[in-house]
Amino acid sequence: MNLKYFGCALFACVFLSFTACKEQVTIAEAQKLTISEGFENPLGFYDKTPSFSWQLPVLEGVLSQSAYQIVVASTPDLLPDNADLWDSGKQMTDQSVWVKYEGKPLESRQKVYWQVKYWNQDEDVSQWSTVNHFELGLLSNSDWKAKWIGLDTKKEKLLGSQENIIHRPQYLRKGFELSNDVASARLYITAKGVFDVSINGEDVSDDVMPPGYTPYKERIETITYDVTDLIESGQNTIGVELAAGWHSGRLGWKKELWVDTETPKMIFQLELTMKDGSTEMILSDDTWKGTTNGPTRISEIYDGETYDANLEMPNWTTNNFDDKTWESINTFPVTNDIRLEPKRHTTVKTKIELATQEVVEKGGVAVFDFQQNMVGVPLLKVPMKKGQTLKIRFAEKLSPDGTFYIENYRSAQSTNYYTASKDGVIEWMPKFTFHGFQYVELSGYDTSKTPSKDWVTGLVQYSDFEENGTFTSSHEKLNQLQSNIVWGLRGNFFDIPTDCPQRDERMGWTADAQVFAPASMFNADVYKFWASWMQSVGESQYDNGAVPWVVPDVLFNNKVSAGWGDACTIIPWKIYLRIGDKKILEENFETMKGWVKYHESVTKNYISKMGFFADWLQPLPENGDNRGDTSKSLIGTAFFAHSANLTAKTAKALGKTEAFEKYNAIYKTVANAFENKFFENGKVKGVAETQTSYLLALAFGLLSEEHKANAKQHLLEKIAEADNHLRTGFLGTPLLSEVLDSTGEIDLMYKILFNETYPSWFYSINQGATTIWERWNSYSKKDGFNPQNMNSLNHYAYGAIGEWMYERIAGIAPLEAGYKTIRIAPVPKEPLTSAAASLNTPYGKVVSSWEIKGSKFELHVVVPPNTTAKVTIPANTAKDLVLNGEAFKGDNRAELLNSSASGFELLVQPGDYKFTSQL
């Protein structure tokens, strides 16, 4: 294709004038077309005012975009010339991401086709891109003709491990007959609970525990499936398994809520278009039948699943099944108080399969070790005898005597049972629960067989996003830290950002989320994941502006905490910096304002009375408290100022000048009050002097210019007093690298990061960690487990350091929101001799990879099209800089901006560069 166009262009060049030739030059088309938060050709899409993004190809001759044209139509054959929904016309701009749709209003079910072309820096025009498409889901409750259905699962009064009411999983089915052939079929479905749907004996999808977890009293997400290929002409059968999930399980700690959870319900709307053009709908209604006498007896997120193969109902999702003993079901109308909206991020899926690394058997009990702490379920292929019950237990770690360490699961039983109906190898995996574990223990199998590794496979489950960046270095422990961060992400992005995946929490703790969000954005494509959860944050905000501890709010305790509720200002802002899409700011601006107002309401003379978790889990607290030594009032006031500042910045980015002035003034006033109350000449006064108190003051810009240097000195003293170790908890830790870096103390930050002794990141690695731990001392080889049972071994918060590893060790940071301009500024230090990162930005892949070879520093940089990069190369600038093997002279691709004592600073256009400097 390209060649053909090139050929034409060449031909034209020979025969036509130069101007005419320019008109003919056609360059390769735009790639990676996505809509809104990065969706590729989605079905059942949520956004009727989407934005469009594309990437320019990596090609000689494509440096930047000078214009674009987008065409949007209701059928593909109308493109590109007869776009009936929108033709943007030629827009003279370099904007290639987040271009808002401005065409005809779109509606539920609508199919939309689009393509784009661009003009490069020389006004050469590209070919049209391939045609991409999306189809909207059911956007409003009035689209639903179906009813909620379900059995009364309360009447059995079955109680669980904590006297919580257990709703037995239910099986719902319906047969229907079609007299015509189907041209297209869409299934719209969701549950108050979690579901698994089959049609004519086929699984409709491999989604895990859909629809996921939102503030169910406000909004339940709906899922759309294309089931055209599953529908037969003639007789058909639908089968839906429905379990309690997050909706009707014992989530959180409020016992009084579990004793009377609402019965699970399901809603189903199958819309069929027949080959003759007629339409038909199959709905959940009173014609369905149900039973709770199926094989899955109990499913509970914390406690696990119980399965009895004797109760299997072969073919129950096919036409060959008799349901006359099944009950009729209850129906409930769709009301307007709970919004039904298409899911706005991806469902959880099985993403990785881990093989067992080691099996140890003793007295009929076999322990399978994955040598990696993971989250999901086991796939079991185990020999059993009829009537045996297999007991399946989990642990993150073994106690020194080889027994399972499960104290840290607290009340979560995390145990599955499988009863065999015949002799032979069973194949089974739990369906409506998940576990956090490294070890699986089996007992109750056929002990005449020797356990082997293939009995258990670890199915790693998380929201279906792709990994988006890589980081590696010459240091094994730093690489292990990177791996632990990524496993923390895989383990705690289970539809919502969870604090931990294994004990009786697994909740959307807000501080954990805000400290880890930036690191997550480097490692995975999680913009839609965060945007979706931020919607839940907004929906969970109380009328007075308070943002709860966890989202969705299952604690219902009306309590707030500084540094926790501030997730509502910090996450949108930090994501905006990495993505450049103002939508995340627009969507969260009101929530931010409400939260700042709430902050204000708990102050006296701008000094905060907001307390709570403070610098949570600070190591070696003098007061012995999990909340650390830093003053709560100091922390509250610092976050009040910081949230006001981020709200001001947001207002500015959104062009809201008046709001900017207002929030900026609040920020300044609070900062002033903060300094007067807690500092004197840059030294903490009146409250405990801690690393975190200085970090907050410096990171959030709360001190007057003349006192900053002093404050930094006092911080350095506190760090020196701790023998150059950190003394920071959840709130202080992410600020450590930021402050030490921005104040020129990078050597010290390296020292702290590469510390091997407690407390440090490598300490846990030296103790065998394969994930990030909740505490700096969750476990040690010498002293064993931390005595507190609040001791998760998979808690991503301290993985926040991943942000600095990418931005400074490897050296990739956004200089302008969304990496339109990129800062490549690695800071190579001992003990590293090399480090490398790559990141898929909205514009394409950025690479920064360096290596020290003797006195030489080599830097490989890739800058994607339509961006520019400021590249800082450490060097002895008296000596030559070499670019791609030749002495660097500077040209319009790479231009010298500055050379200083520390190195060269260059402005670099898109392309691939290998620099060599002398150190």
The catalytic residues are: 505, 774
Residue 617 Cβ, how far from ligand RAM at the closest point, in Å? 8
Among the listed residues 37, 207, 512, 553, the single contact to ligand RAM using CB under 6 A: 512
Among the listed residues 242, 511, 739, 837, the single contact to ligand RAM using CB under 6 A: 511
**Collapsing DSSP states into helix, strand and coil, what is residue 746?**
helix
User: CA-CA distance, 912 to 518, in Å (whole number)?
Assistant: 26
Identity of the residue, 29 or 505, whose beta carbon is nearer to ligand RAM in the bound complex: 505
Residue 733 Cβ, how far from ligand RAM at the closest point, in Å? 13
Do 284 and 266 contact (CB within 8 A), yes or no?
yes
Identity of the residue, 271 or 499, whose beta carbon is nearer to ligand RAM in the bound complex: 499
Identity of the residue, 255 or 449, whose beta carbon is nearer to ligand RAM in the bound complex: 255
Identity of the residue, 794 or 877, whose beta carbon is nearer to ligand RAM in the bound complex: 794
Environment class of 58 (CB within 10 Å of its CB; exposed 0-12, middle 13-18, buried 19+): middle
Q: Provide the b/e sequence for 504-524 (b: ≥16 CB within 10 Å).
A: bbbbbbbbbbbbbbbbbbbbb
Residue 365 Cβ, how far from ligand RAM at the closest point, in Å? 31
Residue 503 Cβ, how far from ligand RAM at the closest point, in Å? 8
User: CA-CA distance, 203 to 429, in Å (whole number)?
Assistant: 15
Among the listed residues 616, 750, 850, 913, the single contact to ligand RAM using CB under 6 A: 616
Do 136 and 73 contact (CB within 8 A), yes or no?
no
Between residue 311 and residue 350, which ones bind ligand RAM under the rule CB under 6 A? none
Identity of the residue, 687 or 790, whose beta carbon is nearer to ligand RAM in the bound complex: 790
Residue 692 Cβ, how far from ligand RAM at the closest point, in Å? 15
User: CA-CA distance, 135 to 123, in Å (whole number)?
Assistant: 33
Kindly report the length of the chain: 919
Is 499 an interacting residue with respect to ligand RAM (CB under 6 A)?
Answer: yes
Using the contact rule CB under 6 A, the part of the chain among 44-52, 416-424, 507-515, 670-678 near ligand RAM is 507-515
Each residue 448-487 as x (binds ligand RAM by CB under 6 A) or -, in order, gives: ----------------------------------------
Region for 647 from its dihedrals, namely left if φ exceeds 0, alpha if ψ lies in -120 to 50, beta otherwise? alpha
Identity of the residue, 726 or 772, whose beta carbon is nearer to ligand RAM in the bound complex: 772
Identity of the residue, 499 or 553, whose beta carbon is nearer to ligand RAM in the bound complex: 499
Identity of the residue, 196 or 629, whose beta carbon is nearer to ligand RAM in the bound complex: 629
| # residues near ligand RAM by CB under 6 A | 10
Residue 789 Cβ, how far from ligand RAM at the closest point, in Å? 11
Residue 599 Cβ, how far from ligand RAM at the closest point, in Å? 19
Virtual CA dihedral for 9, 15, 16, 17, nearest 10 degrees? Answer: 110
User: CA-CA distance, 506 to 491, in Å (whole number)?
Assistant: 10
Helices 583-601 and 657-678 pack at an angle, to 10 degrees, of 40
Residue 627 Cβ, how far from ligand RAM at the closest point, in Å? 9
Using the contact rule CB under 6 A, the part of the chain among 107-115, 149-157, 504-512, 800-808 near ligand RAM is 504-512
Give one DSSP letter per residue of 449-508, joined into a string: S---GGGEEEEEEEES--B-EEEEES-HHHHHHHHHHHHHHHHHEESEE-S-SSSS----
User: CA-CA distance, 438 to 458, in Å (whole number)?
Assistant: 9
User: CA-CA distance, 422 to 494, in Å (whole number)?
Assistant: 35
Among the listed residues 112, 230, 231, 500, the single contact to ligand RAM using CB under 6 A: 500
- Residue 777's nearest CA partner among 617, 893, 915, 911 is 617
Residue 773 Cβ, how far from ligand RAM at the closest point, in Å? 11
Strand partners, 180: none
Between residue 795 and residue 824, which ones bind ligand RAM under the rule CB under 6 A? 795
Residue 566 Cβ, how far from ligand RAM at the closest point, in Å? 13
Give the max Cα distance, the chain.
Answer: 89
Each residue 708-747 as x (binds ligand RAM by CB under 6 A) or -, in order, gives: ----------------------------------------
Give one DSSP letter per residue of 12-26, joined into a string: HHHHS-HHHHHHH-E
User: CA-CA distance, 100 to 102, in Å (whole number)?
Assistant: 6
Using the contact rule CB under 6 A, the part of the chain among 90-98, 136-144, 509-517, 776-784 near ligand RAM is 509-517
- Residue 264's nearest CA partner among 156, 151, 155, 171 is 151
Each residue 537-576 as x (binds ligand RAM by CB under 6 A) or -, in order, gives: ----------------------------------------
Environment class of 107 (CB within 10 Å of its CB; exposed 0-12, middle 13-18, buried 19+): exposed
User: CA-CA distance, 259 to 621, in Å (whole number)?
Assistant: 38
Residue 595 Cβ, how far from ligand RAM at the closest point, in Å? 17
Identity of the residue, 454 or 625, whose beta carbon is nearer to ligand RAM in the bound complex: 625
Identity of the residue, 601 or 788, whose beta carbon is nearer to ligand RAM in the bound complex: 788
- Residue 196's nearest CA partner among 268, 106, 248, 291 is 268
Using the contact rule CB under 6 A, the part of the chain among 86-94, 192-200, 425-433, 499-507 near ligand RAM is 499-507
**Collapsing DSSP states into helix, strand and coil, what is residue 806?**
helix
Using the contact rule CB under 6 A, the part of the chain among 125-133, 503-511, 590-598, 904-912 near ligand RAM is 503-511
Using the contact rule CB under 6 A, the part of the chain among 6-14, 468-476, 497-505, 838-846 near ligand RAM is 497-505
Residue 596: its H or E element: helix 583-601
Give one DSSP letter per residue of 310-364, joined into a string: GG--TTTTSSS---TTSEE-EEE---SSSEEEE-SSPPEEEEEEEE--EEEEETT
- Residue 259's nearest CA partner among 171, 169, 331, 167 is 167
Among the listed residues 98, 188, 509, 595, the single contact to ligand RAM using CB under 6 A: 509
Using the contact rule CB under 6 A, the part of the chain among 61-69, 415-423, 508-516, 664-672 near ligand RAM is 508-516
Residue 547 token pair: 């943002």
- Residue 799's nearest CA partner among 550, 488, 564, 500 is 488
Among the listed residues 37, 303, 504, 505, the single contact to ligand RAM using CB under 6 A: 505
Identity of the residue, 47 or 512, whose beta carbon is nearer to ligand RAM in the bound complex: 512
Residue 612 Cβ, how far from ligand RAM at the closest point, in Å? 8
Identity of the residue, 239 or 729, whose beta carbon is nearer to ligand RAM in the bound complex: 729
Using the contact rule CB under 6 A, the part of the chain among 506-514, 665-673, 755-763, 816-824 near ligand RAM is 506-514
Instruction: Provide the binding-site residues for ligand RAM, judged by CB under 6 A.
Output: 499-500, 505, 509, 511-512, 613, 616, 790, 795
